[in-house]
Structure formats: C-alpha cells, structure tokens
Amino acid sequence: MESLLTLVIFFPAVAGIFGFMIEAKAIKAYGIAVTTIEFLLSLLLWIMFDSTNPGYQFVEHIPLIKEFGINYYLGIDGISLFLIILSTFMTMVSVIGLTVKEDLKNMIITILFLEMTMVGVFASLDVILFYIFWELSLVPMLYIIGAWGAKLRIYAAVKFFLYTFAGSLLMLVGILYMAHLHHEITGTWSFAIPDWQAMPIDFTTQLWLFAAFFFGFAIKVPMVPFHTWLPYAHGQAPTVGSVILAAVLLKMGTYGFVRFSLPMFPDASVYFIVPVAILAIIMVVYTAMIAFAQEDMKQVIAYSSISHMGIIVLGTFAMNAEGITGSLFLMLSHGIVSGALFMLVGVIYDRTHTKMMDQFGGLASVMPKYATIFGIMLMASVGLPLTIGFVGEFLSLVGFFQISPMMTALAGTGIILGAVYMLRLYKKSFFGPVTNPENKKLKDLTAQELTALVPLVILVVWLGVYPKPVLDPIDSSVKHMIVNMEKKAVTKEAKELFVQANSIKEAK
Amino acid sequence: MLDPISIDYAALNMASLIPMIIIILGGLSILVIDLIKDDLSKSFYVMISELFILLALGAAFGYTGSERGFFDALLIDGIAKLGEGIILIASALFIPLALTSKRFHEFSYPEFFALFLFMIAGFNFMVTSDNLILIFVGLETSSLALYTLIAMHNRQKSFEAAIKYFTMGALAAGFFVFAILIFYALTGSVELHKIKEVLIAKEFQPIVAIMAGVVFMIAALGFKLSMVPFQTWVPDVYEGASAALAGYMSIVPKIAGFVVAMRMFEIFVHADIVWVQQILWIVAVVTMTATNIMALVQESVKRMLAYSSISHAGFAMSAILIGTTQANSALFLYWILFTFTNLGAFTMLWVSRHKKKGVWHSRYDHPYEKFSGMVKFMPVNAVIMGMFMLSLAGVPPFSLFWGKLYLMSSAINSGFIILALFMALNSAISVYYYLKLIVYMFLREPKQVDETIYMKNASMPLKTIIGFAAFMTLMAAVLVSPLLDMITHYVKASGF
C-alpha cells in the first residue's frame, strides 16, 4: 500500500473529528476501538516493513509549496518504525486504562489529535512537516495538563508550552539556515531530511547549526539545565498525560538527535561529545539523587525518567552502532516502563487520592497483583537482566565505553542510585505492616486495569529475553546511518573517533 | 514665460484611474441617494458599498495598460496591484461587519459608508503613486475619513480616540511634508524615481540633509505604521474604536503605509546606505520586542491585540530593511495571511460586543475574564478563537506560521541572522499572551454560563466572515503555494 503512512498518521485525527458526533457515554468504547485499529495499522507497517532494507520505506512525496521546496514527504526506516509503534501502543494502553470522568469526550478527542502529531513527527521526512507536527503536539498536551491536571495545572501547562516552544523556535532558525545552505550549495530549495543528510557542511557552520538544533531537542528531552518544566508537568498532569508525555513526547527530543544532529552534523557531534556527555552524566546522577529525596511517588518516577533519558543521550553520542541502537531500544523500553509506572501510580491515586509514600505501607498484602506488576516494572526500570530495561542500558553503556570508560563508569553509578531510590519506594509503600488502616480496604487491580497493564508486562519480559526482532531492523538502519556519517565527516578528529568508536567486533 | 500645457487625452491614460474613480463615485452616489431618500436601511448601504468595492477590485486586477498614468503621477506596478488587492479585499470583508444584529449609532448614517469609500480611495492613491504629493493627498484623505469613522462610534472613549489619532496624525502629516520638502530641495523633484536618480548621481551627499529627510520620513510613516516610539496612540485608539474598525485599522492603513515605505526606503536599501539600514534595523527590532513585552501585561483582549498588531508591523518592517525580492514577497504574504487571522480575531470580539457598559469590567468591553471557560458552553467558538491565537503566535500549520517562516528565511538568506533570532525570540515571547487567552478559554472555569451574552451581536454575515477567516487560517498550507507564486511574480515585475 502506497499510502499506508498517511493512513496511520491521519486516521486518529479523522476519527477524532468524527468523535464529536459520538454520544458521551459511548466515547470510551469509541476511543478504545480507534486506538486499537490505529495500533493494528502500525503493526501492519511492521509486517510489511522490509528489514533487509536500511533506507526509507513507505515513501510518499507530494509537493506542497513548490517554489520553496516544501513537500509532503513521508517515510520510515528501522529507527522510526518502532517509535511509531510505541506511540500507537502506548496511546491504546493509556486509553484503555483511562479513568477520567469529567469531559471524557474532550479528553478522548484530544488524545486522538495528539496521536496524529506523535506519529507524524516520526514519519515525516520533510523538515517543515516534522516541525509542524512537533509544534502541534504541544497544543493537545497543553489542554490535557491544563484541563484535567491537579491544583497547579495551569502553571505547569503554560510552563511546559513556553519552554518547548521557545526551544523549537531556535531550532526553526537553524532549519531555515540549513535550507539557505542547501540553496547556496545546490541552487534548489529543499527541506527533505535525506537531502540535508547528504549535504556537506563546513565545520564552523556545523557547530552553530548543531547548537541551534540542540536547544530544540535538549529542552524536549529534557536535558539539565532545561529540565525544570518536566517535574511540574508530570506532577500536575493526569495519569494519561504523564504516560504519553514520558512514553512518547520526550522521545521526540532524542529521536531528533538521532535523525538530525548526528547525521547532519557529524563533526560537530564528535566535537561536542564531551560537553554533551557531561550534561548527560549530570542528568543521570543529579536527578537520581533528587528522585531519592522525593516523598511523592509520581515525582520519584518523573525524576527517574529524566535520569534514564540521560543514558539514552549518552548512548546516542557513543557514535557507534551499539550505543545508538542501544539508545533507540532504551527509548522503547523507557517508554513502556515509565508509561507503566505512571499508570500504576495513577491506579493507587484513583483509590486513595494521594501519591505520598508515607501514606502507604504494606500494600503488598492488600493488593498482591498490583504489587507484583509494580515489582516487575520496577525491576525493568532498574535494568535487571532479562527485563526490557537491561538490553538498552547495557548496549548504550557498552557503546559509550568505547569513547570514555571513565564517563561510562560515572553514568553507571546512576543505575545503582536508580536501584536505591526505586527499592526505597517499593519498601516504603509495599512492604511492612499496613500503617494506614484505611488502606486495608483497598481493592486490587480491576479487569480494566489488568487489560491495560498485562500487555506491558508481557512486552517487558518478552523483549527482555528476546529483543532480536526489534533490534535487528534498528541496527541495520543505524549502521547505514553511521557509514554515511563517517563518509560525511570532514575533520580528522571525527574520522579517527569513528574508527575508534566502531572497533567492537562482532562475536563470530 | 511658461509654455502652454498640451497633453493629449490618450497620454493621460485615464484607465489607470478607474479603480479610484469607481470608489469615489460610489461614495458620492451614496451621499446623493441619501439626499433623495433618507430612510433606507443600513443593509442597502452595506451592499452598495460592497458592490463598488468589488467593481474596483475587478478594475484594478483587470488593468493591463501601461505602468504610468495621469501626468505620470500614477504608477501601477506589481506592488501597487498587490497593495490595491489587499486593501480592496480587506475592505470588502470588513464592510459586512456593519450588519450586526444590534443597532450601532454610526451605521445609521449613510455618511459612514461614503466616508469609508473615500478612505479606500485615499489608500488606493497611496499605493498606486510614486509622487510624494499625491501620496500625501491620499494619506490625508484616508486619515481624515478614518478619524471621523472612529468618532462616529459615539462613545466617550471613541471621541478621545479620534482626537488622539487626529492630533498624532496631524503631527505625522507635518513630518511627511517636511520630508517631501527636504527631498525636493535636494533633488528638485517629488517623484520617487527621479529622487532616486538624483540621489544616486550625487552619491547620497550631503549626508546631513538626506539624514534629516529620512528621519522625517521614518517619523511620518512610523506614526502610520505604529513603529516604536510613535506607537503610543495605537492601544487607546483601538480601545476606543469599535472592534470591527480596530481590526480594519490594524490591516489596511498599514499595508498602504508599507507600500509607501517600500518605495521610499528601497532607494536607500538597494544602494546599501548602511546608516539607513541601521536605523530601520533598530526601529524594526525595538518595535517587535518592546510592544510584545507591553502586550504581556494587558488585561483587555482588544488592547492585547492592539499591541500584538504593532509587533506584527515590526516583523513586516524588517522585510523592508532586508529589501530582497524574497523579503518583499514575504511582506505581502505575511500581510495577506495576517489579514485573514486578524480579521477573524477582531470579528470574534465584535460578535461578543455588548451594548451595555461594564458587563464584564468597569473599563473594558473584552477583558480576559470574559472568555473564562468558553470551551464548556461554546466549544466551536472557543476552538476557532484558539486557532486564531495560535496562528498569530506562529504555531504551524496555521496561516501566519507560513508568513513568519518565509520572512525569517528571507532574513537568513540575506545574512540577517541576528534579526532572524530576534524574530524567533519575539515569537516565543508573544506566545505567552496569546496563550493567556487560550488558557482562559480552555482551562478556567466559566464565570458566566449564559451563552447568549457572547453572541449578542452575531448575525449571519458576521458568522460567515468568521467561518471564512477560520477556513483561510486553517487551510493556509494549501493556499501559500499559489499566493506565493502570484506575489513573487508581481514583486519581481516591479523590480523590488
């Protein structure tokens, strides 16, 4: 099918428009049906995906503004395929687990529009199209946080919007400069990502452009010191908002690094490895420490989420197949695990209307199923071998070990700290006697919650034990990208680093 | 002894005057009709004016004759046509806003419509001439008509606004005359193309005199285009005028001013006169930044939109500073897209206009609180208004994003990176106050659940116009391509 990507992008939006005509009491079922169909459509992408071809597939190309080289240009490779599936999957799961009561109709329609923008970001091969979806994703999220959030919701929503919007405007300047360069070099206007990736850029210009794009992506990730919007957003957002924010929206930033920064500015990326790595390590260790100090379960997970994003950034800047593939896999696993953890916190919040750890204790005896699933997700988050979290973290760190063993060791302490704060959370809330008598009457997971959570558990174990079907397509696209980066690099330092970074030999 | 003037009629090229003649005849005929029969409904005058405007539009775009006409005072080149097009289309969209369901004082006078048409004729003269005297006459015709139109709203605030605008406008007119005088003294001509020749021949010397002329010109046009520091009248005048007229003022007089500024300053920009560029750079950047910051603290949506429109004018001014074909095309693209969005935003205020004073706020008709929780009881209106705000903020894919994109691109292509960064920064600042309205509409609890109060002034024509503006704002991605084609063609044809 030639137009499959268009269908996957716009199906939820069209369904969202139709959603206005659905009666309020049927909207939940409608939402589940639409997101499930959308998920199946994205699975169809995977089935029809040719994993031996590392280039872009399902390409669609229609001119939009010819004079200015803006096209409706779509296509995916192994890098974006799984991020699309992650988006549709997590949207489906979070709609199934949705417990919002008021204005449910507006909520479902908003989520469907958000789904369009998420898939659109990962499927666009035209930078302006990418930018449109990237910016548009802010609007539904603003509404979700601001309308259904907790007390400080409006502050949190506006802060979220302003931070990311400001960052992406700097990126827009970078985008326009890239277009200008392309026009100077080739004489034609083009905003196509493949064209830009193939375009030679001199070193100094690369540095500036890298910086412009870096702001846009770093705020989204969010990297220290631009991370302050995220704890607020998570703290105030409703469960579904946190799930989608952590699972998908943050990945847009790291995806940007992989899709733009590395292949377009290889020399600048090499030049900036150390500063970026230092930021990433600060991110890992510092936010892990903050997470340890939190009393609110949701804040613990929010900060742990930033901490893990640090490892993703580190893996991306390892400049070798292991690191980048690992970081992409970690994006998926982090999406699944942190999404699941936020949902689990949502479950307990729906019952008790508090997220404070000192209100709980001994939950394991009252809610055994809940405690089991929470435990599995917690282990995955810590990166226990044979869970999904281990694969990505291990590969990312192995990759970066080629660059700097010292820094990798520092980042590794973040994992230890991660175990500390997560186990502390588990101990305080789940073990010991039931301290709060009201908690004795808590109901265990309902069928609806189990339907949402069990698929996540299955994925965590399945991909933890056997990640190959996902890793292979990612790996082939990443290798293809690295070869091109190596070819494109102009400085001697960069060329040497590519050789050094890619010296891991495959086991025969 | 003077030679007797003998010019044959064909050389006058009267065809070039036809659009203006149609409009003026329209205005006169409205006055005559009023003399004969004085109890006609306003809908008659609205539709008659609309017809004359459309006729003029047809005549303007259908004109294929030579560029020069009427003692060489008229210059119908590409940008003149674009200017006329924007002026006439915007006017055609604004005049039906008089068809409100509430009765307003000004629309009961046929003179309102006559003055409106004379004003349009004035604007048209401004854009179709490179003779400074004729531009001045056009400027004054339109301004005097506009002052009166504002005052006809018949409120305390409107009189204040009209007087304020009049005083400021008179000062600006003085500056304009001074600028003409200096350039005439320097070059012996009031025609811009001759001024250009002479100035180039003299290599822009003596610099002091030229500087004085340019400064007076910037001050005069600065008043019209509301450039900082000549912007002080804008918020008060917009507040006093009716929302419909305020919306009109934010678009049409400015495009006329921009065309004049383009003709005037391109002489210097193309000759790479650095100090003129520096002055323009400062004016543009300060205009977009300072007013953005002032807009942050406004309590009234209308005043916020007033400041925001000044900021947008600063954006457009930077196109004149850049001066390439792409930049000048970007200016027109920006302004056309801005027209639809701003038209929509002001019309949204206009439909919710209440006749009683102080329903929401002791001073303002449209404070932010008025829109609290609008999505709860009027979701469609809230979504449309939200879309206009996002468009003004430059969020893709809504209309103004494309204008900003093309304008910033033209800045970058000509090496004005810092200017482009300022534009980006200002978009980031401006999103805060546009977002404020969205936050009120979508995220706050409603204060007033009686929805009729919001649609007091609505009528079919008004709703149609909002629908049209919303459609254009939403579908901009598709419209930009043909628009850009046409604009670039016209701008190139006139050598800018």
Residue window 10-49, chain A: list those with CB within 8 Å of chain B. Answer: none
- pLDDT tens-digit series, residues A250-296: 999 999 999 999 999 999 999 999 999 999 999 999 999 999 999 89
Beta bridge partners of A124: A74
**B2 lies in a domain?**
no
* Inter-chain contacts counted by CB atoms under 8 A, chains A and B: 88
- What are the phi and psi torsion angles at B82 (to 5°)? -60, -45
Question: Given a cut of 80, is residue B305 above it in pLDDT?
Answer: yes
Task: Kindly give the residue spans of alpha helices, DSSP state H, lying in A97-152.
Answer: 104-123, 127-136, 138-148
Task: Give the chain B residue whose CA is nearest to the CA of A149.
Answer: B443
A246: distance to nearest CA of chain B, Å?
22
B435 CB neighbours in chain A (<8 A) are 142, 158, 161-162
At A128, is the pLDDT very low, low, confident or very high (cuts 50, 70, 90)?
very high
Q: What is the 3-state secondary structure (H, E, C) of A182-195?
A: HHHHHCCCCCEHHH
**What pLDDT is stored for residue A504 in this prediction?**
66
A42: distance to nearest CA of chain B, Å?
25
**B4 lies in a domain?**
no
CA distances to A34, A57, A419, A447, B68 from A102, rounded to whole Å, are: 20, 42, 37, 22, 66
**What pLDDT is stored for residue B231 in this prediction?**
87
Residue window 46-75, chain B: list those with CB within 8 Å of chain A. Answer: none
Residue window 73-112, chain A: list those with CB within 8 Å of chain B. Answer: 106
At A506, is the pLDDT very low, low, confident or very high (cuts 50, 70, 90)?
low
Distance, CA of A250 to CA of B209 (rounded, Å): 59
Instruction: Give the contacts of A322 (CB within 8 A, at least 6 positions apart).
Output: A395, A398, A399, A402, A504
Nearest to A66 among B427, B438, B481 (CB): B481
Distance, CA of A456 to CA of B280 (rounded, Å): 59
A120: distance to nearest CA of chain B, Å?
13
CB B142 within 8 A of CB B253: yes
Amino acid at B212: A
Distance, CA of B221 to CA of B214 (rounded, Å): 10
**What pLDDT is stored for residue B477 in this prediction?**
85
| Residue B405 contacts A where some CB pair is shorter than 8 Å | yes
At A67, is the pLDDT very low, low, confident or very high (cuts 50, 70, 90)?
confident
DSSP string, B387-426: HHHHHHHT-TTSHHHHHHHHHHHHHHHTT-HHHHHHHHHH
For chain B, give the mean pLDDT.
Answer: 89
Task: Give the chain B residue whose CA is nearest to the CA of A150.
Answer: B443
Indicate the angle between helix axes A153-186 and B399-413, nearest 10 degrees: 50
Nearest to B484 among A63, A68, A147 (CB): A68
Residue window 332-361, chain A: list those with CB within 8 Å of chain B. Answer: none
- Tokens for A197? 């990736």
- pLDDT tens-digit series, residues B364-395: 878 888 888 888 878 888 889 999 999 999 98
Question: Given a cut of 80, is residue A419 above it in pLDDT?
Answer: yes
CB A390 within 8 A of CB A383: yes
Q: Mean per-residue pLDDT for A462-485?
A: 91
Helix, coil or strand: residue A224? coil
Domain that holds residue B52: 9-493
Q: Mean per-residue pLDDT for B417-421?
A: 93
B443 CB neighbours in chain A (<8 A) are 143, 146-147, 153-154, 157
Instruction: Give the contacts of A188 (CB within 8 A, at least 6 positions apart).
Output: A69, A182
Q: Mean per-residue pLDDT for B316-326?
A: 91
- pLDDT tens-digit series, residues A35-49: 999 999 999 999 999
Q: Mean per-residue pLDDT for B315-323?
A: 92
**B346 lies in a domain?**
yes
Indicate yes or no: CB of B432 within 8 angstroms of CB of A162.
yes
- What are the phi and psi torsion angles at A192 (to 5°)? -80, 135
- pLDDT tens-digit series, residues B421-474: 999 999 999 999 999 999 998 888 887 656 666 677 778 888 999 999 999 999
B438: distance to nearest CA of chain A, Å?
9
Q: Mean per-residue pLDDT for B255-276?
A: 91
Indicate yes or no: CB of B444 within 8 angstroms of CB of A161.
no
CA distances to B245, B343, B476 from B347, rounded to whole Å, are: 10, 6, 19
pTM for the whole thing?
0.92
User: For chain B, what's the residue count?
Assistant: 496
- pLDDT tens-digit series, residues B33-52: 989 987 888 888 999 999 99
- Under DSSP, the state recorded for A360 is -
- Side-chain-side CA neighbours of residue B204 (13 Å): 15
**B108 lies in a domain?**
yes
**What pLDDT is stored for residue A507 in this prediction?**
52
Of chain A, the percentage scoring pLDDT greater than 70 comes to 99
Q: Mean per-residue pLDDT for A314-325?
A: 91
Beta bridge partners of A63: A71
Task: Kindly give the residue spans of alpha helices, DSSP state H, lying in B13-104.
Answer: 18-36, 42-62, 78-94
Indicate yes or no: CB of B406 within 8 angstroms of CB of A161.
no
Of chain B, the percentage scoring pLDDT greater than 90 comes to 57
Indicate yes or no: CB of A136 within 8 angstroms of CB of B481.
no
Beta bridge partners of A503: none
Q: How many distinct structural domains can be found in chain B? A: 1
Nearest to A67 among B395, B424, B485 (CB): B485
At A508, is the pLDDT very low, low, confident or very high (cuts 50, 70, 90)?
very low
B182 vs A506, higher pLDDT: B182
B-interface mutation test, from A68, A72, A155, A161, most B Cβ less than 10 A away: A68
Residue window 415-434, chain B: list those with CB within 8 Å of chain A. Answer: 417, 420-421, 424-425, 427-428, 431-432
Nearest to A154 among B406, B409, B439 (CB): B439
Q: Mean per-residue pLDDT for B343-347?
A: 92
- Tokens for A220? 């989204």
A175: distance to nearest CA of chain B, Å?
9
CB A123 within 8 A of CB A80: yes
Distance, CA of B38 to CA of B335 (rounded, Å): 38
Instruction: Give the contacts of B4 (CB within 8 A, at least 6 positions apart).
Output: none
Predicted-complex ipTM score: 0.89
A236: distance to nearest CA of chain B, Å?
13
A136 vs A498, higher pLDDT: A136
B7 vs A479, higher pLDDT: A479
Longest dimension (CA), chain A: 74
Q: Mean per-residue pLDDT for A497-505?
A: 77
Distance, CA of B41 to CA of B110 (rounded, Å): 9
**What pLDDT is stored for residue B155 in this prediction?**
83
Task: Give the chain B residue whose CA is nearest to the CA of A172.
Answer: B424
A153 CB neighbours in chain B (<8 A) are 443
Sign of CA dihedral B466, B471, B476, B481: negative
Beta bridge partners of A71: A63
Residue A70 has a CB neighbour count (10 Å cut-off) of 25
Question: Given a cut of 70, is residue B225 above it in pLDDT?
Answer: yes
DSSP string, A433-463: S--SGGGGG-----HHHHHHHHHHHHHHHHH
Distance, CA of B249 to CA of A173 (rounded, Å): 31
Task: Give the chain B residue whose CA is nearest to the CA of A212.
Answer: B421
